[in-house]
Structure 1
Amino acid sequence: MEGMERISIPTPFSVGRVNCYLFTKNGLTVLDPGPATEEAYEELERSLARFGYSSSDIDRVLITHPHMDHFGLAHRLVAESNAHVFAHEDAVEQLSDPIGYFEKEQEYFRPFLLSMGMPMDTVDTVLELPEPYTEYQDPVTVSHELAEGDTIDVGVELECLSTPGHAPGSLCYLAKTEGIMFAGDHVLPDITPNPLLTLAPGSEDERTRSLPTYLESLRKVLDTEVPFGYGGHGDPISTLQNRARETITHHQERKERIADLVADHEPTTAYQIMKEMFPDLPATEMFPGMSEVIGHLDLLEDENRVVISESDGVKRYELDTQQYE
């Protein structure tokens, strides 16, 4: 695509490098600059210099979603350039106070994970483990709050597609005239994004139903019929529609596997299912693991295929036998 460059920014996370995109035709626009590390900043500066720019020349910073490997460096770039920051309206709170948002999530998810059957000592470990990683993000003020259908001229018109699920406030940017979608982490070429549990936008006492929401957002990608994608990680996605379909199929198959596990162990808790599915999962991955299992249980609940009971503050799942009569 003329006037667009993809650069690979290092991150301290297991996912590896993050893709940052430069648009150079209508001023200088940076999409997803990477985490707030010196290594990320230096790599971005070297890349900008190759095209005759520096960070002080940036006019716009576009953010696909409020995860630190994508937005963490934005604050520093804005301080150097006075660039305008664009993000979805549902991402604004987390971007403006990421540490405060994380602390609110810790407060909410402690009793929630207990209610999903996770032991207290494991809950404490799971919620405290991410604390050292919070340093890779700085608060950034969004100057332009975006919503579905908004457009931005970066030398090519980008149309906003709201795609919550992997994160609240997730946005894909469509260059329709080019047949291209800048997909963030909504669709990735080689891995399946985890629809992480988080607080519902604007709430301190309600969680997202991330996986059902994510699948709805994937179907919106299919509706666009855009053939080509640039994701937040990995190589370009040459068959975007096929990859979106593969991701939907993956989750439908995983849902059926979890239904079988519920049937084999009922009544059971989300934590017991997670341990059965991922017996060697390290504590660092248990929150994504719980998000995965609870997301599929949410799908089964939406299909009226499970019955949920509660005793001693813990929720347990059984298959609804009436569905199988």
Structure 2
Amino acid sequence: MKVLDKTISQLTIPTPFAVGDVHVYLLKGDTLSIIDAGVKTKEGWEALKTQLNELGYTPNDVEQVILTHHHPDHIGLIEAFPRAETMAAHRNADLYLTRDETFFAEYEQFFRQFFVACGVSGELMPGPGELGGTLKFAGTGKLTDTLDEGDRLPGHDDWQVIETKGHAQSHLSFFRESDGALIAGDHLLHHISPNPLLEAPIGSDVRPKPMLQYRNNLKKCQSLDIQMVYPGHGRIFSDVNDVISVSLQKQERRAEKVYTFLQEKAQTPFELCQQLFPKQYENQLNLTMSETIGQLDYLENEGLVTTTLKNGVYVYDVTK
């Protein structure tokens, strides 16, 4: 636990995930808010209670929950605050928080159809419920307030909402202009590049392109006078523009690798995924396919590759 200034403290919650611990933030203002809620495990609950107690609070004192995005390690303990009358996040988070059955059925159908169109082998296709396997670590609830670009956090007028889609279609960051502090969720991390993850479209038939969103929102952050980043994982940092530049360059280098593969021959997304991640694709299909499709979206947006549909499967080739 770290007291960052008189209005904000960082609490660190263990997770069972490879990314390691997750940070949540206690924000004091006109109301007492918690930003993100860790993961739903016994260890997570004990860590949350202990660190709140060190600050002189209990879960009963928290009056509002604000979320950077809907991933399980950020929403696990949203039900742990009985006096919290407000739950605020991007509107796209609500279907995940409420566990909307129709949406989850459509979500699985989207991925099955999309993976088939990407050439994924039948034996690797996710089974029923497999895509939601981490939901046991997530809490359930319903938004009372939705947050949009430019809004002020309720009860904390000095914090402005910045939409930072890419890692998630519900991702928001929160910026305090007076000192350049950014509560960044998983949009900006110092030690790893966040993964722009594929998601099913919400209220549209058009697939989101998270890599393009991620790049655009990194550049948006470059235009802000960010002095300090309070991230969802890893250490607090101030070398913001360096971290953004490195993230953009790493992505571009990986895209160049994909382009080199395509110069050899036209290929499906899954064939490219196998070359990019020969040791990971079988056990981390969604993650590795998200990365592969992200690079293809980038290359296509740059006019470097084209795609055609052959026998129901996408085939990418370099632009002639």
Give the TM-score normalised by the residue count of structure 2: 0.93
Percent sequence identity is 28
How far, CA to CA, are the matches of 2:100 and 2:13 in structure 1? Answer: 21
Pair 1:94–1:41, CA change in 2 (3 A): same
- List per-residue Cα deviations over 1:264-292 (Å, max 9, x = no partner): 2x211111111111111153322110010
Alignment map for 1:157-236 (pairs within 5 Å): 157-203=158-204, 205-236=205-236
How far, CA to CA, are the matches of 2:7 and 2:300 in structure 1? Answer: 47
Partner in structure 1 of residue 76 of structure 2: 72
Is 158-167 or 304-313 further displaced after alignment? 304-313
How far, CA to CA, are the matches of 2:155 and 2:310 in structure 1? Answer: 55
Partner in structure 1 of residue 15 of structure 2: 11
Partner in structure 1 of residue 88 of structure 2: 86
- List per-residue Cα deviations over 1:239-266 (Å, max 9, x = no partner): 12221121111111111111111112x2
- Secondary structure of the corresponding residue to residue 283 of structure 1: coil
Q: Alignment RMSD, CA only?
A: 1.8
Pair 1:171–1:119, CA change in 2 (3 A): same
How far, CA to CA, are the matches of 1:169 and 1:229 in structure 2? Answer: 19
- Secondary structure of the corresponding residue to residue 81 of structure 1: coil
Is 246-255 or 167-176 further displaced after alignment? 246-255
- List per-residue Cα deviations over 1:30-78 (Å, max 9, x = no partner): 111112222211111111111111111101111001111001211232x
Amino acid at match of 1:56: N
Pair 1:208–1:269, CA change in 2 (3 A): same
The CA deviation at 1:94 is 2.3
Q: Is 2:292 the partner of 1:278?
A: no
> After the TM superposition, which parts of structure 1 deviate over 3 Å for at least 4 consecutive aligned residues?
98-103, 127-132, 153-156
Unaligned runs of 5+ in 1: none
- List per-residue Cα deviations over 1:115-143 (Å, max 9, x = no partner): 11111111135x75444422111321111
Do 1:225 and 1:241's aligned partners in 2 also have CA atoms closer than 8 Å? no
Do 2:179 and 2:227's aligned partners in 1 also have CA atoms closer than 8 Å? no
Partner in structure 1 of residue 110 of structure 2: 108
Q: Across the two proteins, how many residue pairs are aligned to each other?
A: 316
Unaligned runs of 5+ in 2: none
How far, CA to CA, are the matches of 2:101 and 2:62 in structure 1? Answer: 26
- List per-residue Cα deviations over 1:94-127 (Å, max 9, x = no partner): 22226654443211110110111111111135x7
- Secondary structure of the corresponding residue to residue 69 of structure 1: helix
How far, CA to CA, are the matches of 1:98 and 1:35 in structure 2? Answer: 20
Do 1:188 and 1:231's aligned partners in 2 also have CA atoms closer than 8 Å? yes
Partner in structure 2 of residue 27 of structure 1: 31
Amino acid at match of 2:267: T
Partner in structure 1 of residue 289 of structure 2: 290
Pair 1:101–1:261, CA change in 2 (3 A): same
Partner in structure 2 of residue 247 of structure 1: 247
Pair 1:100–1:242, CA change in 2 (3 A): farther
Q: Is 2:23 the partner of 1:46?
A: no
- Secondary structure of the corresponding residue to residue 215 of structure 2: helix
Partner in structure 1 of residue 299 of structure 2: 300
Which of 122, 125, 135 aligns to 2:124? It is 122
Partner in structure 1 of residue 268 of structure 2: 269
- Secondary structure of the corresponding residue to residue 284 of structure 1: coil
The CA deviation at 1:299 is 1.1
Is 184-193 or 235-244 further displaced after alignment? 235-244
Amino acid at match of 2:208: T
Do 1:3 and 1:155's aligned partners in 2 also have CA atoms closer than 8 Å? no
Give the TM-score normalised by the residue count of structure 1: 0.92
The CA deviation at 1:9 is 0.4
